[in-house]
Structure 1
Amino acid sequence: MKARLLNIGLLLSSLIGYLEWGGDKKMFLFQIEGEVLSKLFTDPLGILHPLTILPLFGQLLLIISLFQKKPNKLLTYIGLGCISILMALIFFVGLISLNYKTILSAIPFLVIAIWTIKYRRTNG
């Protein structure tokens, strides 16, 4: 049960990543994902980029693991890894630019990710 809750935490915390760019542009990841998914049917080649495809794939794997009787360890690790690429980048960019909103938006995912890895190592 705890593995499932951790996967839900990973999934939900990956949606609250916050990005700011340009002078006045800012969005949460769930807003960006909505746009990406809407463009999937109108302009599929326009969204082909590793920083859009990998996190979406990771979230899909975590969703699949939620419907399993016992969430698969490999699916959790692969999903975690795919999403971590983007969330670590968001955290790093926040540190470089000293943007506390961006840093704070990535911390919940990173904390749950570390907690998930520790739990999975000890409990399988």
Structure 2
Amino acid sequence: MKIKASLLVTTLLASAFCFAADTYQVSTSVYSQGKRVAAPAMMVEADKMASITMDSGFSYTLTVTPNQDETAGVVAVVTVGDSTIHPSFTVAYGKEATIAIVEQKLTLMINKVNS
């Protein structure tokens, strides 16, 4: 019985020191041929892929990787109709970043929610 009690206490103490992964709010606007086609916002955990798909032929997948300097690396795949772009760049928290590739433009802002 003492072994079970000490195992329970050890488990509770260990779980108290576990930290949740960093979470980010990502607000995005996607433009194709100068027209905004989507403006999704989503909550994303650090280093985990998040995605959204809409009926209009739009899909968006991204991964946010935190850096040490209040920035995050973003790797995305954006599809509008039959056109797909694969941007990868670094974004400062709370500042809008834009990348344009051919006729598509991606604007996003990342805010750290918790760590």
Question: Fold match, TM over 0.5?
Answer: no
Relative contact order (alpha carbons < 8 A, sep ≥ 6): 1 or 2 greater? 1
Whichever structure has more strand as a proportion of its residues is: 2
Larger radius of gyration: 2
